[in-house]
Structure 1
Amino acid sequence: MRVLVAGATGAIGRPLVRQLLEHEHEVYGLTRSESSARKLRALGAVPLLGDARDAVGVRRLLASARPEVIANELTSLPKQLNPKKLTVYYADNNLVRIEGTEALIDAAIAEGVRRFVSQSAAFWYAADNPGVVADETMPFDERAPEPIGEAVRTMRTVEGMVRSARGLESVNLRYGTFYGPGTWFARDGEVGLRVRKWQYPIVGDGRALSSFVHVEDAAAATVAAIEGTATGDFNIVDDDPAPAREWLPAFAAALGGRKPLRIPKVIVRMAIGPGLVHMATKSQGASNARARDLLVWVPARVSWRSGFTELHESTRTVSRAGCALGNRRRK
């Protein structure tokens, strides 16, 4: 099958392209830079150089590639975050999501694409019922403090665009929080680095729930959605939503870091604003029951607990390699 992946070198784009190739699909990757194009060629995919927000250019690229399915994994968030610049980051990301998705959908309809699978998020559910695990019928938290509220409304808009696209089999995949190689929740990722530096505290009582998914499992779910026939909205998360007071110390331990501090909400709010505090204290876990049933997908890592163990093993490997290098230098 001919599949076009937009955002093909992002956190999920890379494992998705690789898994699609392993399933013997013909894969095209939309990317903006020649360096990313070289990475796609090395994997065995066909790079398409262009800007997803350029509607005319996207139409031209789709006309040449003639994909049957599009996987929309467009984002524009940096690898390293300054919490005080969150408004700037999200403003750009929101534009890319809306304008890029619109260009892709219009081109898909014009060029006869059959199926459209699009990235969404399972961590934007409204926290009206703390501790309740959300299914796909629950509302998004559109009243969250800015800039989070605008990001949530953007995601809701993008989902609506996908859902109402004329003539397309439409799927919205609401991914949980990614962890694993190339994500913020990796040893060298944004959150991983902050945790190792003792700069990522538990905010408030730590009871807010999070649902994780290893990026390889998220890619596998996306392959299942591409190859399947089910349509609609799906939470792509593991089986084990957990409060920050459980998962954050475990994540720190997996990376060889110290036990995280616990800091009152009011202090964190003064330091970085209400948006991130809201995310840290009002998040809600999600259920993957619908994806298991209709996408016939089961995460290989049913819990972040086993997934974080993988991070621990990789951390030990890095530490052993560093010790060996140091010993060789001393000799």
Structure 2
Amino acid sequence: MRVFVTGATGFIGKAVVRELLEAGHQVLGLARSDQSAAALTAAGAEVHRGALDDLDSLREGAAAADGVIHLAFVHDFSDYAGGVATDLQAVKAMGAELEGTGKPFVITSGTAALSFVLPSGQVGTEQDTVTDNEPRGAAENVALALAGRGVRSSIVRLSTCVHNEALAGFATLLIGIAREKGVSAYVGDGSNHWPAVHRLDAARLFRLALESAPAGSILHGVGEEGVPLRDIAEVIGRRLNVPTASISREEADAHFGFLGAFATTDNTSSNALTRERVGWEPTHLGLIADLEQGQHFGQ
């Protein structure tokens, strides 16, 4: 397939592009800058100039491809609502272009939204849906609706911690907070969980979704159902040589900033249906093992 990929030069996108090319697909990558265009060319992909808020460029990219993987997101947490709105418009624009074609359209979401709609301690599954009011929920629901309009749409919900030997999603942010505050903290007894997945396992899941996900399906990019926050905090404290300590829920927002809401919730998430639907099996290192390698803790 010729695959249009947004976010093709990002942390996950680079791995997805490599996965697609090695599997024999062609990649048309969205590039906003000359630097991104050069990186795509060097990787062996075609370049499509545009941006996430340039809806015409997104429509053109989708129309020129046999399928779409949408990874791009504006990661400005000072205006998260703005990023969500931009993402929703992008999904709508590309989805409308694909209506009636039967082409695959894989969008990206996160398991974190489930922690706001499920009872505490309940394991989130691929059958759980979210409302338009949850983070990225509206985009999920647009994608699900496209399955009834001739698009083989699917959603990959990524774990809170997508990691490799150097970066680890929200865990990387915890490292920065611990370095700044001089303490690696967790809330209460730290028994709440974050799911995790290695970046290369996630990249393979996006390829499998493109190739074979049923229309209207939700997949979970979850390699580990849940890693206790205390375990993550203890590795960080040991590697940074700072104390590890419990803080109260009342202190969480001040200590963690926007992560306070996530540091107090349990986001244990299953991947059972994902393995069944597309034959995906995570094979790479878990989060704690990756953190233990130490590259995460460079200045």
TM-based fold match above 0.5: yes
1:245 paired residue number: 230
1:39 paired residue number: 39
1:214 paired residue number: 198
Residue correspondence of structure 1 range 50-199 to structure 2 within 5 A? 50-63=50-63, 66-78=64-76, 86=77, 88-109=78-99, 112=101, 114-126=103-115, 128-140=118-130, 153-165=134-146, 166-177=149-160, 178-180=162-164, 183=167, 185=169, 189-197=172-180, 198=182
Q: Structure 2: where are the runs of 5+ without partners?
A: none
- Distance, in Å, in 2 between the alignment partners of 1:251 and 1:226 is 36
Deviation at 1:256, TM superposition (A): 4.7
Letter paired with 1:39: A
1:137/1:61 Cα in 2 relative to 1: closer, same or farther (>3 Å)? Answer: closer
Q: Structure 1: where are the runs of 5+ without partners?
A: 79-85, 143-149, 320-331
Q: Give the root-mean-square deviation of aligned CA atoms.
A: 2.8
1:213/1:225 Cα in 2 relative to 1: closer, same or farther (>3 Å)? Answer: same
1:44/1:126 Cα in 2 relative to 1: closer, same or farther (>3 Å)? Answer: same
Deviation at 1:69, TM superposition (A): 1.1
Please give the TM-score of this superposition, normalised by the length of structure 1: 0.78
Letter paired with 2:142: M
Of 156-165 and 194-203, deviating more is: 194-203
> Does the CA-based 8 Å contact 2:159-2:222 persist in structure 1?
yes
- Distance, in Å, in 2 between the alignment partners of 1:96 and 1:283 is 28
Identical aligned residues as a percent = 25
> Does the CA-based 8 Å contact 1:240-1:302 persist in structure 2?
no
Aligned residues: 293
- Distance, in Å, in 2 between the alignment partners of 1:229 and 1:220 is 13
> Does the CA-based 8 Å contact 1:53-1:103 persist in structure 2?
no
1:21 paired residue number: 21
Partner of 2:108, secondary structure, is strand
4+ residue segments displaced more than 6 Å: none
Q: Which has the higher strand share?
A: 2
Deviation at 1:113, TM superposition (A): 6.2
Partner of 2:99, secondary structure, is helix
Deviation at 1:139, TM superposition (A): 4.8
1:76/1:21 Cα in 2 relative to 1: closer, same or farther (>3 Å)? Answer: same
1:154-211 residue CA offsets vs partner (Å, 9 max, x unmatched): 4111011111112110110111021225745499x54433344435521233222110
1:224-261 residue CA offsets vs partner (Å, 9 max, x unmatched): 111224340111101341221123213444x4543433
Letter paired with 2:156: L
Please give the TM-score of this superposition, normalised by the length of structure 2: 0.86
